[in-house]
Structure 1
Amino acid sequence: MNRKTAQQGDATITDDFAPRLFAGQRLYQIVARRIARMIEANAGDPGWHMPSERELAEELEVSRPVVREAVIALEMRGIVEVRGRAGIMVLPARPGQINFDLAGVDTGPGPFELLEARLAIESSAAALAAERATSYDIMMLEECIAQMERETEVVLLQEKGDRDFHMTIAKMTNNAIIISMIEALWSQRDESVMWKKLHEHIHAESVRPLWIGDHHSIVSALKMRHPDAAYKAMSRHIKNVINELLEADERGRFAP
């Protein structure tokens, strides 16, 4: 399976992280069912253990983000539990048929599908914003970062400064369609049960400095009125988010 990759720090991010649609089903849903059948098939083997996400991705020939979404879907249904250093633990209940129509369970786009859309749209929006930035806009962005730095006790998904920062850049484009698209993506993120579950595995104290630093880099590019630099800075930030969502548990498992 050919897969393009981009190096981001010490980690590798796959470019094909987006779930695909098959007959109305998302790929992570199909993968979740396959993993559930794997668990059921090995239920009688006391020596069997759940493969890691990397091993599952290789065995099932899908990307890591798709496997992560599948594991989160199984965790939400009480079939597995991700336990940091211990990895993916199978819970006592037998999986049976997985129902993706259960009330209160996320059936919309997966987190990485939303991030792929953000990567495409917000990076381009930042480039356009760099061409149209005013001194007032830059001051507003700096105020958003200052608020992010004060929100140390706020749950990651409830940070107002972060959302205001990205929406300010959207508004800097002066393009109503871009603004509505970015607002819709953030609204879907806020309403996604899978997003909330996935963020339970993030160590906020360790990622906040990185993400705030990313925001400073974006503002620096906008100050220079440099579209290409703004595009790259926004792209780098969203890829850092993707990377952290993929690697958070694994770092915990293998940390000394």
Structure 2
Amino acid sequence: MQSERPARPQGERLYQAVARRIARLIETHAGDKSWRMPSERELAEELEVSRPVIREAVIALEMRGVVEVRGRAGIVVLPSRAAQVNFDLAESDIGPGPFELLEARLAIESSAASLAAERATSYDIMVLEECIAQMEQETNVVLLQEKGDRDFHMTIARMTNNAIIVSMIETLWAQRDESVMWKKLHEHIHAENVRPLWIGDHHSIVSALRMRHPDAAYKAMARHIRNVINELLEADERGRFAPEETEEQSSRG
């Protein structure tokens, strides 16, 4: 079924317009017991937007109690509140979406890694290796609170010797830390499943920097950030729950 592309007022974020459209879809089918909530892939196709935008819209709806994401069960509509949800700009703008931030990081940090490769010193490489060692020790730390990860990326930013690049990357990480949408998204991530992959990505970045190879450094950083994007998109479909969550909890409803 084709649908019009979500319209939005000037200045409104795309995920807000998409969230409003999904809420209306839920309200329209409120009395139809045979109707099921489309998957994220189906919504992306119907609304002609990317899956990251759909995920951000779903997070916005989840935070307002309209839906809940339940692992393999997908998006579950909660007792209808769609008609009560106000998506006016003043109330609905809760900051940039997580994937919007990651897209910016992909553009800026990949280029920063390329520049850092041209200017890397032996001391810089040693600091980066210490950051990875710290990440490997932070096994009981929530992904969003890992100091080693932030220090790693900020070290690369400083390796560029460009104050504007450092400021831009600091701002992106600060926005991530302040984002309530980031925190909600990470509720569906099981850290023990993704930490080895992401630490491996960091080792690959250091290897490229150690070789003073700008193109390899760019690609290694881009690959890492894309891995983060893919993992955040796929985590719910793979049913990655925290160990303490039971099968009954994950399938209830």
Same fold (TM over 0.5): yes
Structure 2 runs not aligned, ≥5 long = 1-6, 241-253
Over residues 134-192 of structure 1, what are the superposed CA-to-partner deviations in whole Å (9 max), with x where a residue is unaligned? 00000000000000000000000000000000000000000000000000000000000
Retained in 1: the 8 A contact 2:68–2:76?
A: yes
Q: 1:193-244 CA distances to partner (integer Å, 9 max, x unpaired)?
A: 0000001111111100000000000000000000000000000000000001
Change (3 A) 1:60 1:174: same
Distance in 2 between the 1:241 and 1:24 partners? Answer: 27
Pick which of 48-57 and 93-102 moved more: 93-102
Partner of 2:194: 207
* Residue 119 of structure 2 is aligned to residue 138 of structure 1: no
| Partner residue, 1:186 | 173
| Equivalent residues of 2:70, 2:76 under 8 A apart | yes
Contact 1:123-1:230 within 8 A present in 2 as well:
yes
Residue ranges of structure 1 left out of the alignment (5+ in a row):
1-19
Q: TM-score, normalised by structure 1?
A: 0.88
Q: Measure how far apart 1:101 and its partner are.
A: 3.7
**Partner Cα distance (1:114, 1:98) in 2:** 24
CA contact (8 A) 1:106 1:194 kept: no
2:65 match: 78
Distance 1:57 1:22 in 2: 20
Q: What are the equivalent positions in structure 2 for 1:151-190 lying under 5 Å apart?
A: 151-190=138-177
C-alpha separation between the residues in 1 aligned to 2:147 and 2:135?
Answer: 8
Tell me which moved more, 90-99 or 31-40. 90-99
* Match 1:126 to one of 109, 113, 134: 113
- Cα separation, 2, equivalents of 1:209 and 1:184: 27
Aligned counterparts of 1:220 and 1:106: Cα–Cα separation in 2: 40
CA distance in 1, matches of 2:185, 2:10: 26
Residue type of the partner of 1:60?
A: L
Q: Give the AA of the match of 1:88.
A: I
Kindly indicate whether the alpha-carbon contact (under 8 Å) linking 2:101 and 2:176 is maintained by their aligned counterparts in 1: yes
- Give runs of ≥4 in structure 1 deviating > 3 Å: 99-102
Name the SS of the counterpart of 2:68 in structure 1: strand
Q: 1:35 aligns with which of 10, 16, 22?
A: 22
TM superposition shift of 1:22? 5.0
SS at match of 1:251: coil
Q: Give, in whole Å, the separation in 2 of the partners of 1:191 and 1:106.
A: 14
The amino acid across from 2:33 in the alignment is: P
* 2:208 matched residue in structure 1: 221
Q: Secondary structure at the match of 1:249?
A: coil
* Separation in 2, partners of 1:94, 1:225: 55
Overall identity of the aligned pairs, in %? 84
1:241 corresponds to 2:231: no
